[in-house]
């Protein structure tokens, strides 16, 4: 008989044996099957592969093949996909923290969490008008330059400052994509990457997905501590440091200019890259010069984005880099996703080149100040035992230290029962946290009255959690 029929016959025999043995049982070894039926190792392997594809068995290297737990729905066997666990291996992409920050807010719940402007603050009409102008261009649906539209790259370069040019900029699909590209391009799987502690959960998730080991570097109210950064480089041998230099998420810290220079000196001495996530540059009127504008050695890979200041769906960002790192970043984007859709790039360029851009910045900056102050005052009045880390120069968040006897997850759950959402601090740490913290956000609420109501509910939740 031919090989295909041999495989089918052995598969039928093993199918019957699996049914007889029952879930969890171990099938005879491949060697035993070969001996019983006088077939080749390839035939046995392919027969077991058929059963695995049917969800009837799962093969564990070094242990053997085992009968799976069959599920029955509507009178038919449903596929058991547990075999995929073995095929996929041990690497896990943890989307939990990011998914929680992006989750939709139920009706009647006050959001003291989130990372985007409330819809009432977004320039939706102006963006729609910019999009209408953009798509009327004759080449709007043509393939863009692979690195991005020249004028858009020139605009991002000017925002970064210093002697950055359009040739240094690469347009990518939002800040998270920029971060993922940077981690993959700059660090090999299995190597360490230094991060501020606490830090943005999306950075921790992206680093883990890239196979990197996040190592914490402590901060104070002025941001990362340069002397401890130097020590971390020396101890770990890391060649990448992830840094949010302005309005750090979650603490709100902004590196002073002097400390920015120290960070660059430390990175230069270590022969390392600094990934500067400048996500919040447009969320304050007082942003210091970017690290990229101060960099003379190609140490900084700068990430700038329009998403936070405009809309969650304005997935347009720039990665700014020089030298071989820039080439690797461009190559990575090309093989992974080609380019960012031209109509979206054209829309972004239309908007930032219009008077609506400056008017929007003025409106948002005023609203951010008002909401920040209102939230800080409400916390001081209703949760006096909680300590504000600092009053940031802008941004969307406040970082709050809770009394030592409060379990932050219990507080978050009590808050949820009281129909208010906050972000537990644990997700922001790459290692053990120093104590209970929460991040509270003022920008997602509809108005100041809802913000006040959210803090009232949070105070009630704190009383229940103690």
Rounded Cα distance between 156 and 170, Å, is: 9
DSSP-H helix ranges across 237-300: 257-270, 291-294
Q: Are residues 421 and 290 in the same domain?
A: yes
Q: Are residues 208 and 295 in the same domain?
A: yes
Q: Are residues 235 and 310 in the same domain?
A: yes
Instruction: From 404, 411, 406, 409, select the one nearest 427 (Cα to Cα).
Output: 409
Q: Are residues 371 and 316 in the same domain?
A: yes
Q: Are residues 252 and 283 in the same domain?
A: yes
Place of tokens 């953009």: 134
223-224 β-sheet, strand order: 169-172, 317-320, 300-305, 273-277, 240-243, 192-197, 213-220, 223-224
Q: Are residues 106 and 26 in the same domain?
A: no
Residue 230: predicted pLDDT: 97
| Cβ count within 10 A of residue 73 | 7
The helix or strand, by DSSP H or E, that contains position 98, with its residue range, turns out to be helix 96-102
Q: Are residues 461 and 390 in the same domain?
A: yes
Q: Are residues 65 and 151 in the same domain?
A: no
Q: Where are the beta strands (DSSP E) in 279-322?
A: 300-305, 317-320
Residue 74: predicted pLDDT: 43
DSSP assignment of 345-398: HHHHHHHHTSHHHHHHHHHHHHHHHHHHHHHHHHHHHH-TTSEES---SSSSEE
Q: Are residues 348 and 405 in the same domain?
A: yes
**27, 62, 88: which is the final residue of a domain?**
88
Q: Are residues 230 and 350 in the same domain?
A: yes
**88, 122, 151: which is the final residue of a domain?**
88
Place of tokens 């809309």: 311
Rounded Cα distance between 230 and 218, Å, is: 11
Rounded Cα distance between 66 and 82, Å, is: 11
Residue 75: predicted pLDDT: 46
Rounded Cα distance between 257 and 296, Å, is: 15
Look up the CATH number of the domain holding residue 305: 3.40.640.10
Residue 73: predicted pLDDT: 44
**88, 104, 124: which is the final residue of a domain?**
88
437-441 β-sheet, strand order: 387-388, 397-401, 437-441, 423-424
pTM: 0.80
Rounded Cα distance between 60 and 252, Å, is: 48
Place of tokens 């972000």: 423
Rounded Cα distance between 367 and 214, Å, is: 35
Q: Are residues 223 and 113 in the same domain?
A: yes
Residue 269 CA, chain-centre distance (Å), reads 29
Instruction: For residue 51, give its domain range.
Output: 3-88
Q: Are residues 447 and 465 in the same domain?
A: yes
Residue 138: predicted pLDDT: 87
Look up the CATH number of the domain holding residue 68: 1.10.10.10
Residue 70: predicted pLDDT: 61
Q: What would the pLDDT profile of 87-106 be if each residue is shown by its tens digit?
A: 887 777 777 777 777 777 88
Walk along the chain (466 residues) and give the pLDDT tens digit of each residue: 456 678 888 998 998 888 888 888 889 988 889 888 888 888 888 888 888 888 888 887 777 888 987 644 444 556 778 788 778 877 777 777 777 777 778 889 999 999 899 999 999 999 999 999 999 988 989 999 999 999 999 999 999 999 999 999 999 999 999 999 999 999 999 999 999 999 999 999 999 999 999 999 999 999 999 999 999 999 999 999 999 999 999 999 999 999 999 999 999 999 999 999 999 999 999 999 999 999 999 999 999 999 999 999 999 999 999 999 999 999 999 998 899 999 999 999 999 999 999 999 999 999 999 999 999 999 999 999 999 999 999 999 999 999 999 999 999 999 999 999 999 999 999 988 999 999 999 999 999 999 999 999 999 999 988 8
- Total domain count, the chain: 2
Residue 71: predicted pLDDT: 45
Residue 91: predicted pLDDT: 72
CA of 124: how far to CAs of 78, 155, 309, 318, 356, in Å?
46, 21, 12, 22, 11
CA of 1: how far to CAs of 12, 342, 428, in Å?
15, 58, 62
Residue 324: predicted pLDDT: 94
């Amino acid at each position: 008989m031919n090989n295909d029929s041999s495989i089918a016959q052995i598969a039928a025999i093993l199918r019957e044996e699996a049914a007889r043995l029952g879930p969890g049982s171990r099938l005879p070894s491949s060697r035993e099957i070969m001996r019983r039926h006088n077939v080749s190792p390839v035939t046995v392997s392919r027969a077991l592969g058929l059963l695995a594809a049917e969800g009837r068995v799962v093969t564990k290297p070094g242990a053997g093949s085992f009968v799976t737990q069959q599920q029955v729905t509507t009178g038919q066997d449903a596929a058991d996909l547990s075999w995929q666990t073995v095929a996929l291996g041990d690497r896990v992409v943890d989307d939990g923290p990011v998914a929680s920050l992006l989750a939709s807010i139920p009706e009647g719940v006050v959001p003291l969490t989130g990372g985007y402007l409330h819809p009432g603050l977004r320039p939706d009409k102006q963006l729609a008008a910019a999009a209408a102008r953009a798509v009327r261009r004759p080449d709007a649906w043509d393939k863009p330059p692979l690195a991005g539209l020249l004028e858009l790259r020139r605009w991002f370069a000017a925002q970064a400052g210093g002697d950055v040019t359009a040739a240094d900029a690469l347009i990518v699909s939002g800040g998270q994509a920029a971060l993922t590209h940077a981690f993959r391009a700059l660090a090999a799987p299995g190597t360490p990457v230094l991060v501020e502690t606490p830090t943005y959960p999306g950075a921790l998730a992206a680093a883990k997905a890239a196979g990197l080991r996040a190592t914490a570097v402590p901060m104070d109210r002025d941001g990362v501590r340069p002397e401890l950064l130097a020590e971390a480089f020396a101890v770990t041998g890391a060649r990448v440091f992830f840094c949010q230099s302005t309005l750090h998420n979650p603490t709100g810290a902004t590196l002073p200019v002097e400390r920015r220079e120290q960070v660059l000196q430390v990175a230069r001495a270590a022969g390392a890259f600094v990934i500067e996530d400048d996500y919040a540059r447009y969320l304050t009127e007082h942003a210091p010069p970017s690290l990229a504008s101060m960099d003379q050695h190609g140490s900084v890979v700068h990430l700038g984005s329009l998403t936070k200041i405009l809309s969650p769906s304005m997935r347009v960002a720039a990665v700014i880099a020089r030298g071989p790192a820039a080439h690797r970043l461009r190559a990575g984007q090309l093989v992974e996703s080609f380019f960012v859709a031209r109509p979206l790039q054209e829309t972004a360029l239309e908007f930032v080149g219009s008077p609506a851009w400056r008017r929007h910045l003025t409106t948002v900056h005023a609203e951010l100040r008002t909401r920040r102050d209102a939230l800080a005052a409400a916390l001081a009045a209703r949760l006096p035992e909680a300590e504000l880390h600092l009053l940031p120069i802008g941004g969307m968040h406040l970082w709050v230290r809770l009394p030592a006897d409060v379990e932050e997850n219990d507080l978050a759950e009590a808050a949820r029962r009281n129909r208010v959402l906050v972000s537990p601090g644990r997700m922001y740490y790459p290692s053990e946290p120093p104590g209970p913290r929460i991040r509270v956000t003022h920008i997602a609420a509809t108005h100041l009255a809802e913000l006040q109501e959210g803090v009232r509910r949070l105070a009630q939740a704190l009383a229940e959690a103690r």
